[in-house]
Chains A and B, each alone.
Chain A
Amino acid sequence: MDKEKRKPTKPTEKMNLSSDSPGISFHLLANEKWQPITIPAFSILLSLIAAAIVILLIGKNPLNAFLNLLQGSGILPKPSYAGYKGILTDFLSLLNAMTPLLFASLAVAVAFKAGLFNIGVSGMMLTAGFTATVAVGYSDLNSFLAKPVVLIIGIGAGAVMGAFVGWLKYRFNINEVVSTIMLNNIAQYVFGFFINAYIVDPVSRQSRYILDSSRLTLVNVEYGGLKMDIPLGFILAIAAAVFLKFFMDKTILGYEIKTVGANRNAAKYAGINVKKNIILAMVISGALAGLAGVTYYLGYFSSIQPKVLSSVGYDAIAVSLLGNSNPVGIVFSSLLISIISKGSTYMSSIAGIDQDIASVITGLILLFSACGEYIKFKIRRLNDRQLERKESEA
């Protein structure tokens, strides 16, 4: 080996691309060790700046708007509260909305680790939600039995659908993007038909409300003069994130799934059963999507709107990207997105900024989070090119 190549390059030095210095921020971003944190942070910063410009353009104060978002979602106290309401009420309501999003994002992340794009989280959510609603939602099971059964049915329904996608992938080499989109449509209309035909509420035009015994959110719990909604699924979602982190980093199965995702050829060469791992990853992804479904339709809501797919499954793709497909990162990114969507009602009523602006901000964050991948890609390309140059000095 020749002498030049022996020198270990410090990660910060790697990006000394040319004589014109690229600046400190660039060095920070280029440091691979910190990239999982710096790049999402950079993306969020960019999106907040862009959002601030949008708010300025409609003639409002962006700082106030951001403050209102935090107040509305129960992170900061509001100046005044209505009866039975308090910061705790708002905060629990935030967690209630965040629970399905967190499950759904974890579902996307697991598939992503195996190199699969699960677009079908929404369809899986609906399948799980519908199955659980029909099976348990109107039954007279007592609360202690009904809730676990709802969870199990959710996991089962999602996992079966995930396994089906994985099976299609390895047996017939059907791209999972195509099959999941198709399954989304099938779920949307098939279950829409059944809801309209059998369990529709003629007034609300939705499925009849489920009984509280099977609902995963305890509603209107009175404590200390406040009326709160307590999302039981939230604890499970956090536990799922922690477990997933452990599973991916520390177990043989996680290592194999990651290897299949990072380089399918090398996985095969190393003797890893690629088919088994593709299905396994999709089963786990489906199970998590199922949990997202039951915490959404039988927790956050208590009925299903027919022929409508929830946007949670799509938002989850971006939330997962923003969190770098890392379960811990996803806890934070789903919190952030939930804060914005939850706080928007308050922001619009106080600051007079249309609620749609909150959607714009969410959209911007998600857009920039996709750019985060792009930034990483760009930086890696530059790194690679430099390596290539060094190699080609023959």
Chain B
Amino acid sequence: MSTLEVRDLTRTFGDLRAVDGVSFAARGGMLTGFVGSNGAGKTSTMRMMMGVLASTSGDVLFDGAPVTRADRRTFGYMPEERGLYPKQPALDQLVYLARLRGIPAATARAEALEHLDRLGLADRAKDHVEKLSLGNQQRVQITAALMGRPRALILDEPFSGLDPTAVDDMVDLLRGHTARGVPVLFSSHQLDLVERLCERLVILRGGRVVADGTPAELQETGTVRHRLVLGGDAGWVRGVPGVHAVDVDGATALLELADEEAARRLLAAAVERGTVRELSPVRPSLAQIYREVTS
């Protein structure tokens, strides 16, 4: 199991602190999702992890030691705005990019053919990449990062623009790598996807980490709400001290309770007025947590 870690990573562009003291770890065997709005610093962080962008300060560590060029050569990387050589066959460029990373030609060729076969592109291996559909081009790009049993994967928006089936295929591939104990860090805008896939989640806002943990851990930290279902109209709950009504719809209300005392007061008042069908805590969704931590 390897760990890819950043410690106090900072990058300034003029007066702008694009990445501001970011620390987190992507652990081996896990998919770590990297979430944040545009301009939050995700791409800059990933570029610094890969050594493509110089950091202003801070460290990138691989298994506890500062990451070297030789380490990075064994990482699979997929940059954000990407492309391939449009006029070169998919097979040739997969082999070329792998050979640059020191993988022997024959090994690279065999592995590339295997990948293309799995993607259903075996018969298009010799076609120029520009003749493939955009989705297939993107699969080839992800494949380029996966060649040669990488020791870590850093993928910037790998799934954007892929249809759900393609996403599942790619996730299966990534799972194959986490099963080997490899840390996989990927950024995404698609929260539902991240929630479904990731064992761990890092949320960035304005260049800082605002949340870091497993989805369950993050849900603990989010504001717990309660749902109250009554026999009759629930409009009166707005008047109860210590109770904040997020939403009232007929007999159902979504509430934030200030403390235990407020809960007791609410329940007593409800029982006095008639039937109480339900009063239960509601686990916040990741989307809700995301909005809370990034707002």
Do A and B belong to a common assembly? no
Interface residues of A (CB under 8 A from B): none
